[in-house]
Structure 1
Amino acid sequence: MLQRRLSTAISTILLFTSTSLAADQILLDDGSLLKGSIKQISDGKVIMDTAFASEVTVDFSRVTQISTDQKHLIELDSNDRVVGQLTVNEQGQHQLTGTAFGTVDIDPKRINTLWETDAVQPQNAQLEQQYQQEIEQIKTAQAQEKAKLEETYTAEVQQLRAEREALLDPWSGSLAFGVQGASGNTDRMAVTGRGELHRETANERLGMYLEINYAKENDEQTENEKLAGIKLERDISENYFARGSADFEIDDFEELDLRAITTASLGRFFIREPDLIFKGFAGVGYRFESYSDGTNEKDPTAVFGYETNYNLNSRLSLFHDLTYYPSFSSPGQNYLLVTNVGAEMPITNDEAWKLRASLRSQYNSQPALDAETTDTNYRLNLVYDWD
């Protein structure tokens, strides 16, 4: 009888030993026995590869017994590390075998981390995974930023190309003309014409004009005036520009054979928007006047002025400018003041044809002997614009 019990016990021990050598195994608190290959213990979890369910994860706190069929790296709660094989002896005591210190007893609750000898420590593997995820996130963000930059670059290049194409032909101009007539008690005929030519680039503006005004009433001339001028502006910075101009005038009824004014000035944009431009300028110049009675006037002069253009809406634009020329010799007594104000309105869908109403007033503090100090002209002209 004793021999039979001893044989049974030995068989049980041999069976348990052979089973433990065949695979890692863990016994849970509900009596469940899991066999397979323990991959790691980390963060209070046991991860085991099993034949019936592939990878299984259970709480390490539920494990009552654990054994391995080969050595593992083990980190204890004291941060000490040891290499050995976990076994359970006949008394149910956990032991580490094959360590550098031989066989030692161990409490499984002290195991903080366990991993295979040829694997990376789970914490390091987790950090590596987080690192790789961060790298992938950075790469994704960089790719998105690159795509956004490429999109912005493409849009800017297209805009620059459009602006460049517009600058390939920077010239534009206009022709304005008007005719007025009457017959009967009074025979009257008046003709006015003005041509303008402009060249505008990114930082330079050139403008030229020629204007002729002629009127006749009852076979007598009542107006014979010719105006011409040129103006060049070149930007120094975003708001400041250098300005040079020359204006010429001939007026029979002012007994003016020629008035020529040349100036050089510094200007500033106070408002520079697509629908509103307001700029001022100040500088020095030279004024020459020759009259029909043979007298001439030559004076260095200062120049002060402003110009504004306002697109009130798509159908109406307003303009106004004023220029003041005081003589250096007697600025309070000898000066010339010129102002223009008006409005334009397109009358065709392509906006090539417009109607322009304008008023030009010129005040000369020292006019010719029989001339008025103020000369004012009202105009209503048909205008043709081209770009």
Structure 2
Amino acid sequence: MKRMIPGLMISCALALGAGLASAEDAAPAADEILLLDGSKIIGKVVDARDGAVKVETGFAGTISIPLDQVVSVKSSAPAVMELTDETVIEGQPLLVEDQQLQVTDNSGNIREVELGELLLVNPEPWELGLGYKWTGLANLAMTLQRGNTDTDELDYKLESVWRSERDRYTLKFNGEQDETNNIKNADNWSALGKYDYFFDGPTYGGIKVSAESDKFADLDLRYYIGPYIGREFYTEPAFTMSAEIGLSYVNEDYIVADDNDYPGATWGIDMTSDYLGGDSRLYFNQLGIWDLQETSDVVINTTFGLAFPLLWNFEAAAEVKLEYDSGAPEDIEELDQTYSLRLGYTW
């Protein structure tokens, strides 16, 4: 029988113990969240915003918990926290006891803050005033048909938004080109550029420039420019809503009808909702122009639809676009309707 050398046995034992200790140190400590109903959630706190904390769990993926249902949170990893008074706390774990946020000051003293004053946990850089967040989408719908009838249809949409803590830039462009048996039956496009400056709170002001053309509605070019004031009424993912009103100079160039220009009152409404779940998105937006000289004339462009995610940031969308012009030239329909299924990429 081979005899183990005592020194070697001790060395092996120490190495094994050190290995186990290293493995324990390497394993990330789980966060613990206790709720009002006595439930205990074990996972990792990802972030908190819009009055809810997101927790990554091993049994249900990432779940969102309203902050008013949280009794305590025990977290070990350092986090960045922003309070409603714009105070930023860095390098401290998220700790909550009896619905009170525990904050350690520079002197090492712990002070309690109402949990309702916690605005963000692990905010993005732009939310702390560092640069811009860039989001957008590019959608395309195309139909090619050959046989008894040759049909080519192309719908496209591009939207891009740059948002900082203080301001926002928005660009939108979309259009439609349709042809049947080498004869065009749709040729239109529209473009929008906006700049928003946020005052304290959800109110903002800005300036808007828009242009559109529709050859089959006798519209060679309509453009308008002017200031507006807006407000974000709701910002939670379950329902977002913002609205704007303003004044603009409007110029309309027609292919056959007489050209026109006038002062106009403008408005805009944007709404979204993730109510259906599954990262789907219901959306509605409307832009309107009211002729302040010929008050019976109004232009209203409305778009609403449902978008749902696919893979790798791609999404599909079913969309309806309604374009109404009460002052359309004779022999031109006042209401134009477009129904489309789109495939796009979001970022």
TM-score (norm 2): 0.63
Question: Any idea what the Cα deviations from partners look like across 1:228-286, whole Å, max 9, x if unmatched?
Answer: 11122221221211132111111110121101022321112221224421122212112
Distance 1:156 1:283, change over 3 A: closer
C-alpha contact 2:281 2:307 (8 A) present in aligned 1: yes
Q: CA deviation at 1:294?
A: 6.1
Match 1:204 to one of 147, 162, 167: 167
2:191 matched to 1:223? no
Cα displacement (A) at 1:151: 11
Identity %: 20
**Would you say 1:184 and 2:184 are equivalent positions?**
no
Is 1:374 the counterpart of 2:335 in the alignment? yes
1:173 matched residue in structure 2: 136
Contact 2:132 2:163 in 1 (8 A): no
Structure 1 residues 166 and 145 mapped into 2: Cα distance closer, same or farther (>3 Å)?
closer
- Counterpart of 1:264, as a letter, is P
State the Cα distance separating 1:167 from its structure 2 match: 4.7
Question: Which structure 2 residues correspond to residues 230-379 of structure 1 after superposition, within 5 A?
Answer: 230-293=193-256, 295-312=258-275, 313-331=277-295, 333-348=296-311, 350=312, 352-379=313-340
What does the per-residue CA deviation read over 1:170-215, in whole Å, with 9 as the maximum and x for residues that have no partner? 2232211111122222211101112222101113221102222100
- Cα pair distance change 1:309/1:149, threshold 3 Å: same
- Alpha-carbon separation, structure 1, partners of 2:119 and 2:318: 40
Q: Distance in 1 between matches of 2:108 and 2:304?
A: 52
> For residue 103 of structure 1, what is the aligned residue in structure 2?
none
Distance 1:292 1:159, change over 3 A: same
Kindly tell me: are residues 341 and 237 of structure 1, through their superposed partners in 2, closer, same or farther at Cα, counting changes over 3 Å? Answer: same
Deviation at 1:337, TM superposition (A): 1.3
Q: Provide structure 2 residue ranges, at least 5 long, that are not aligned to the other structure.
A: 1-103
Secondary structure, in 3 states, of the residue corresponding to 1:253?
A: helix
Unaligned 5+ runs, structure 1: 1-141
Q: Quick one: distance in 2 between partners of 1:179 and 1:327?
A: 35
Amino acid at match of 2:286: L
Q: Closer, same or farther in 2 for the Cα pair 1:169/1:285, shift >3 Å? A: closer
Change (3 A) 1:189 1:256: same
Partner of 1:148: 110
Q: Distance in 2 between matches of 1:218 and 1:143?
A: 75
In the TM superposition, residue 169 of structure 1 has moved relative to its aligned partner by: 4.9
Structure 1 ranges of 4+ moved more than 4 A:
142-145, 149-152, 155-158, 160-167
- Report deviation, 1:147: 4.3
Residue 385 (1) aligns with residue 346 (2) = yes
Q: Deviation of residue 326 (structure 1)?
A: 1.1
* CA shift for structure 1 position 340: 1.0
Distance (Å, rounded) in 2 between the aligned partners of 1:377 and 1:306: 19
**Judging changes above 3 Å, is the alpha-carbon distance between structure 1 residues 162 and 237 closer, same or farther for their aligned structure 2 residues?**
closer
Question: Which structure is larger by alpha-carbon Rg, 1 or 2?
Answer: 1
Provide the C-alpha distance between the structure 2 equivalents of 1:143 and 1:170, rounded to a whole number of angstroms: 31
* Structure with the bigger percentage of strand: 2
Paired residues of 2:302 and 2:323 also in contact (CA < 8 A): yes
Q: Give the drift of 1:166.
A: 9.4
- Aligned equivalents of 2:105 and 2:218: distance in 1? 76
What is the deviation of 1:381? Answer: 1.0
Distance of 1:326 and 1:171 partners within structure 2 = 32
Which has a greater percent of helix?
A: 1
| Among candidates 171, 176, 184, match of residue 213 of structure 1 | 176
- For the residue of structure 2 that corresponds to 1:371, the secondary structure is coil
